[in-house]
Amino acid sequence: MSAQQESELMDRVPTGLFIGGEWVQAEGGKTFDVHDPSTNRVIRTIADGSAADGIRALDAAVAAQDAWAATPPRTRSDILRRAYDLVQQHKDDLALLMTLEMGKPLAESRGEVTYGGEFLRWFSEEAVRINGRYGLNPEGTGRMVVSQRPVGPSFFITPWNFPFAMATRKIAPALAAGCTVVVKPAQLTPLTTIFFAKLLEEAGLPAGVVNIVSTTTSSKVSGPIIADPRLRKLSFTGSTPVGRRLIADAAQNVLRVSMELGGNAPFVVFEDADLDKAVEGAMIAKFRNIGQACTAANRFIVHESVAAEFAERVTARVNEMKVGRGTDDGVTIGPLIDADAVAKASELVQDAVTRGATVRTGGHAIASDGTFFEPTVISDVQAGSDILVEEIFGPVLAIATFRDEDEAVALANATEYGLVSYVFTQDLARGHRMIDRLESGMMGLNVGVVSNAAAPFGGVKQSGMGREGGPEGIHEYLSTKYTLIPVD
């Protein structure tokens, strides 16, 4: 990819806030820089929204709500479908934009465009399937009408690691249900969401239905929006500590909330596992998105009889990985998002080594202008190591061992989180037991990736509440209304 192509793409990314169907400056003309983590160079300077700008965006969403809710489902469906088609037309632009602002290899960015686009297509189809029920009550005294109505104006706080898919996964069901939205993209990766807003505008979305406020002062912008009694829904993807604070804030107005929070996914390999599949699944579950995913396998819990072979085989695969800028040919590991992420990965590896773990490959930051960390495998990780408790969010594969099924389950469930788990076994009965015994909202059985637009995404325990995707996803944006009509 040439520097000229990158520059031409950046010139097509709006620099303003998107409020009420218009691209506008932030209050006082404030701006901030967006950086390429592979070089630390500034790639675009955009509007830095204030608390007042956030309320302006909510004003626009509130003003558009009634008309959008009354828009025929087929019309809403058609707009989402046109947005999907436009995403396909601009898939190369979106992929390059994500790689430049987030760092992931271009092949992975293309995969995210495909995945994120599917939410537009899926919910374009769900928009016309919102239904209720009608029938006589048991006493025969009245007829019951149960209907679904849009929740109302919604506020989305999206993360930096999947800039496109996290936007579409929230925006698409909200629009399908008839809700208007304000989106606050992550400060580190706002450009993809901004570009997507252009495509929604081109698809014919009415003014004010989607509003985008980029900012460097997240809490100052989010606080007044969440406190405003006109807001009816909050959806957040990010860390559990921040999610807890947002839930507390949302409780003041009894907002509907969806929270997709932290993860600490176990990857359990039983003694009878197909190791070819387990190794392949491990590479995807661990190193997809440079390990910067809430669904990333965080703890590899491997039966002691196969642990040595598993470690040897994944180490060989990791040694073949190419580290570099995501636009370069053959790169499979790009930079981490910032220097703090590199420092965290280094600290977790060092703590594990201090407690007795063995570094099989990698383990260090890479000196460069960007924020790179070597893809790493460590084995013999001991109980009490921080890496078994904290979310790594980096390309570090940490292996611990177990002796029997009960110990594997105990180790897998020994976390406050419960987003996803991965299990590799050829014993069908054991696989079914794991579905029941592992405390997670999702599970991959002999597979290293589970996400799909047609499936409900979400966790249990402190990994959050609510579901995104699948038929369940649209119900997060609908309220049930019951009406009784007396029988004459």
- Just list the catalytic residues: 260, 294
CA separation for the pair 255, 266 (Å, rounded): 32
CA separation for the pair 222, 35 (Å, rounded): 23
Do residues 298 and 264 make contact, with C-beta atoms less than 8 angstroms apart? yes
Q: Which two tokens stand for residue 474?
A: 């649209």
Write a three-state SS string for the chain. Answer: CCHHHHHHHHHCCCCCEEECCEEECCHHHCEEEEEECCCCEEEEEEECCCHHHHHHHHHHHHHHHHHHHHCCHHHHHHHHHHHHHHHHHCHHHHHHHHHHHHCCCHHHHHHHHHHHHHHHHHHHHHHHHCCCEEEECCCCCEEEEEEEEECCCEEEECCCCCCCHHHHHHHHHHHHHCCCEEEECCCCCCHHHHHHHHHHHHCCCCCCCEEECCCCCHHHHHHHHHHCCCCCEEEEECCHHHHHHHHHHHHCCCCEEEEECCCCEEEEECCCCCHHHHHHHHHHHHHHHHHCCCCCEEEEEEECCCHHHHHHHHHHHHHCCCECCCCCCCCCECCCCCHHHHHHHHHHHHHHHHCCCEEEECCCEECCCCCEECCEEEECCCCCCHHHCCCCCCCEEEEEEECCHHHHHHHHHCCCEECEEEEECCCHHHHHHHHHHCCCCEEEECCCCCCCCCCCECCEECCEECCECHHHHHHCCEEEEEEEEECC
Provide the pairing of β-strand 396-402 with 376-379. Answer: parallel
Distances (CA, A) of 58 to 66, 170, 191, 227, 251: 14, 17, 21, 11, 19
Provide the pairing of β-strand 142-150 with 478-486. Answer: antiparallel
Give me the sign of the Cα torsion angle 336, 337, 343, 348. negative
